[in-house]
Amino acid sequence: MATSNTTQSEAIKYFGQKQKYWSKDPIECNGNQVYQRNDLFDPNLMTTWIVQGKTIKRTNLERMASTTWSWWKSN
């Protein structure tokens, strides 16, 4: 089944051809071997969310560090 050049170019535009890979060697974390990719999360990206009707705006790093959003600290 042939596809048109327009369809292929649109697919490349949205999905890209640049492949990204996980780290070659696993990292030990709490007895588990995990792989990481540093490009999946931007700690400096400003995000907004609503808590009890109030809009809060912080960086991802500030959000994780706050006591109300620190679910990951228990690990």
Mean pLDDT of the chain: 76
What's the pLDDT at 38? 76
17 is a domain residue:
no
What would the pLDDT profile of 8-54 be if each residue is shown by its tens digit?
777 766 666 566 667 778 888 889 988 888 778 888 999 898 889 99
- For 9, phi then psi, to 5°, come to -65, -35
46 is a domain residue:
yes
How many structural domains does the chain have?
Answer: 1
31 is a domain residue:
no
24 is a domain residue:
no
36 is a domain residue:
no
61 is a domain residue:
yes
What's the pLDDT at 16? 65
What's the pLDDT at 24? 73
What would the pLDDT profile of 51-72 be if each residue is shown by its tens digit?
899 999 999 888 888 756 555 5
Residue 6 and residue 16: Cα distance in Å, rounded?
A: 14
75 is a domain residue:
no
Domain span at residue 64 reads 41-70
